[in-house]
Chain A
Amino acid sequence: SQQGEEDPQALSIQEGENATMNCSYKTSINNLQWYRQNSGRGLVHLILIRSNEREKHSGRLRVTLDTSKKSSSLLITASRAADTASYFCATDAMNTGFQKLVFGTGTRLLVSP
């Protein structure tokens, strides 16, 4: 079963615009991570935010975490065509004893030149 659900499922924007993706999860967590996957390839780690953190930045990425609402958002600013990929959130779910990462369903981002 999926711990995380991303929203929207697909997002299409123009270069230079900002892209926001949301992730909701079900059980308590220690950390939440975001990964990017280019078509048919492996996932690349983007950012990890711990349950006691509210916001984290990495380059053009900004991640927020609201543990009271069990939700997170990933903001990509000034998007580029190279940002076209699928984005997944992943959590170490309490119902797994915090012993594995459970991935969400993903958001497909298309950035047009």
Chain B
Amino acid sequence: KAGVTQTPRYLIKTRGQQVTLSCSPISGHRSVSWYQQTPGQGLQFLFEYFSETQRNKGNFPGRFSGRQFSNSRSEMNVSTLELGDSALYLCASSLAGPYEKLFFGSGTQLSVL
């Protein structure tokens, strides 16, 4: 079974631009969670989708959004990028929900210049 796939692996953007990150979960997994990881704040929960519905959301501004498609693939979008958005963005999938065993992708390293 293929693991969680995140694309792209690396991304360089400038302030004010927007970015879309993609995540393909493990086949059969309907829950997809997104996390932001930075050296200063650690791993912060962004949001979780299950069957195309956002079930949970973390404390991030509205510039951060996401969606999930009928095949469970998920995308997250960050608009009007700020320098502080530079981080490793991790996607994780699970069978039932974000509180059970999570399978993580390798992440997208976003650098905002």
B42 near A92: Cβ-Cβ < 8 Å:
no
Say whether A57 faces chain B, with CB atoms less than 8 Å apart: no
Per DSSP, are chain B's interface residues mostly helix, strand or loop, or mixed? strand
Say whether B90 faces chain A, with CB atoms less than 8 Å apart: yes
User: Which of B11-19, B72-80, B100-108 binds A?
Assistant: B100-108
B101 near A100: Cβ-Cβ < 8 Å:
no
A98 to B102, CA, bound (A): 15
Per DSSP, are chain A's interface residues mostly helix, strand or loop, or mixed? strand
B106 near A41: Cβ-Cβ < 8 Å:
yes
Say whether A99 faces chain B, with CB atoms less than 8 Å apart: yes
B104 near A106: Cβ-Cβ < 8 Å:
no
Question: Which B residues are CB-close (under 8 A) to A33?
Answer: 101-102
Say whether A102 faces chain B, with CB atoms less than 8 Å apart: yes
Say whether B32 faces chain A, with CB atoms less than 8 Å apart: no
Most B C-beta atoms less than 10 A away, residue of A41, A44, A88, A101 = A101
Which parts of A95-110 form the interface with B (CB within 8 Å)? 96, 98-106
Contact of A42 among B42, B97, B99, B106 (CB under 8 A): B106
User: Which residues of A come within 8 Å of B, CB atoms?
Assistant: 2, 30-31, 33, 35, 40-45, 48, 88, 92, 96, 98-106
User: Which residues of B come within 8 Å of A, CB atoms?
Assistant: 4, 6, 33, 35, 42-43, 45, 48, 55-56, 58, 88, 90, 92, 97-107, 109
